[in-house]
Chains A and B, each alone.
Chain A
């Protein structure tokens, strides 16, 4: 099973990279972009085949290492 973990800064935490990318898009005359947030994606190839167990395992990984929950949120997507 594959787990895709998307990590982004929490709402309310200033995203400097997102802001810089937004400025660059403006400079390139792309219009209608209201906001840009930059995050990171971690793709895990898991031995686990049961979805529920996989979710528990990956949640633990996020809480202990993959995300810093002081400033970051994470979303987990499982693909079997």
Chain B
């Protein structure tokens, strides 16, 4: 399994993400944003977290126009699997590869802590190894994680099983840290090959660091 990780100026979770996929036995490469193509043998493309272009204007707004993003769009249109974590999720919504937008957290604080998530839908590659309603403990670290979609799009997302994760407490009860619509932490596109989430599964790889629940998520990609 070959994983490519996109690096913009300001990306800072690239090496954590690389470490996580190496731990899972993948071959990895870091892909600088000036690249205009993605190798055809790449099985998964990850847009890692961070603060691309300093989050200037809006998170992900400027990264969206980097040369690599044209290639990412084509890769996704051809059915390639794309995962956006945190800033990567913001870049994917700004690129219209995922619906919605990520606003400033409701209470305006930067949040950096462990938070529980509940699996809403597992009819996709990403969460295929997890059970519906399974609760996992994954760190969040963001200022702009307040997911917004209009009411009609929200209905569509549920209908197509595109809502992947809800924020919850350890018992699986809804607990919304940032004001996201319906407490949504992660979604995918209608074709189910582009995934975005605000929490950081790549930071939950070792029990000694608080949780290894991220492994199970990322392992979903290793099946095919």
CB-CB under 8 A for A68 and B179, given A13-B148, A14-B106, A17-B108: no
Q: How far is the CA of A59 from the CA of B161 in the complex (A)?
A: 35
Question: With a CB–CB cut-off of 8 A, which chain B residues contact A13?
Answer: 103, 148
Label chain B's interface by main secondary structure.
loop
Question: Is A16's CB under 8 angstroms from B104's CB?
Answer: yes
State which size class the interface on A falls in: 10 to 19
Question: Is B100's CB under 8 angstroms from A70's CB?
Answer: yes
Q: Indicate if A11 sits at the interface (CB-CB under 8 A).
A: no
* In-complex Cβ contact of A16 among B93, B100, B179 (8 A): B179
Q: How far is the CA of A70 from the CA of B102 in the complex (A)?
A: 10
Q: Indicate if A20 sits at the interface (CB-CB under 8 A).
A: yes
Q: How far is the CA of A2 from the CA of B99 in the complex (A)?
A: 33
Question: With a CB–CB cut-off of 8 A, which chain B residues contact A17?
Answer: 104, 108
Residues of B within 8 A of A (CB): 57-58, 61-62, 65, 93-94, 99-101, 103-108, 146, 148-149, 179
Residues of A within 8 A of B (CB): 9, 13-14, 16-17, 20, 65-66, 68, 70-71
* A9-B103, A68-B94, A71-B148 known, 5 other contacts, Cβ within 8 Å: A14-B106, A16-B179, A65-B57, A70-B148, A71-B103
Q: List 15 A-B contacts (CB under 8 A).
A: A13-B148, A14-B103, A14-B106, A14-B179, A16-B104, A16-B108, A16-B179, A17-B104, A17-B108, A65-B65, A70-B93, A70-B148, A71-B101, A71-B103, A71-B148
